[in-house]
């Protein structure tokens, strides 16, 4: 998977504060969101990121983690942090 330059350039703090140097916009991500961002910046796919989330968090049995990752990527697209054509 090609890692978009915008995603590489995104400034991310440990507390989940994000700064987009292209637009000046700022965002907050929660801890699982940070985990997904880290995974995407490492070039991981949805399944690997979901596995990492399961390893890192106490995930309820009913949770659909893959779907959650997909929705988060949709949010990144809507927020202009990855190109419209980007898929994980």
Partner 1 sequence: MTKPLYERPTLVRHQMGMMNKFGRAQAMQPLESIDGVSVDELVKTYGSPLFVFSEADLVARYRELHDLLALRYRKIRIAWSYKTNYLDAICKVFHREGAYAEVVSEFEYDKAMRMGIDPTHVHFNGPLKSEATLERVLPAGTVIHIDHFDEMAAAERVAERQGIRPKVAVRVNMAVESVPPWSRFGFNLESGQAMEAIRRLIAGDKLELAGVHCHLGTFITDPAAYKQAAAKLAHLANTLRSEHGVLLEFIDVGGGFASHNTLKAQYLPGEQATPSFSRYVEALTEGLSQLDCDPRDLPTLVLENGRALVDDAGYLVSTVVANKRLRDGRRGLVVDAGVNTLFTSFWYNHDVVSAQPFRGIPEPTVIYGPLCMNIDVVRDTLVFPAMSVGDRLVLKNVGAYNVTQWMQFITYRPAVVMVGRDGKHGLIRRREQLEDIVGPEEVPDWL
The rounded distance, in Å, linking the Cα atoms of 88 and 46 is 6
Q: Torsions phi, psi of 54, nearest 5?
A: -65, -35
Closer of 43 and 71 to partner 1 (Cβ):
71
Q: Does 13 bind partner 1 (CB under 8 A)?
A: no
Nearest approach in angstroms of CB 72 to partner 1 is 4
Q: Does 44 bind partner 1 (CB under 8 A)?
A: no
Q: Torsions phi, psi of 44, nearest 5?
A: -75, 155
| Of 44, 76, 82, 88, the one binding partner 1 by CB under 8 A | 76
Closer of 3 and 59 to partner 1 (Cβ):
59
Closer of 2 and 15 to partner 1 (Cβ):
15
Q: Does 52 bind partner 1 (CB under 8 A)?
A: no
Q: What residues does 17 pair with on adjacent strands?
A: 28
The rounded distance, in Å, linking the Cα atoms of 48 and 79 is 23
């Amino acid at each position: 998977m090609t890692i978009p330059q915008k995603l590489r350039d995104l400034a991310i703090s440990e507390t989940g504060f994000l700064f987009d140097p292209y637009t000046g916009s700022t965002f907050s991500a929660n801890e699982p969101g940070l985990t997904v961002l880290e995974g995407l910046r490492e070039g991981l796919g949805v399944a690997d990121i979901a596995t990492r989330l399961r390893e890192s968090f106490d995930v309820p049995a009913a949770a659909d983690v893959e779907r959650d990752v997909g929705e988060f990527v949709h949010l990144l697209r809507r927020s202009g942090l990855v190109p419209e054509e980007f898929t994980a």
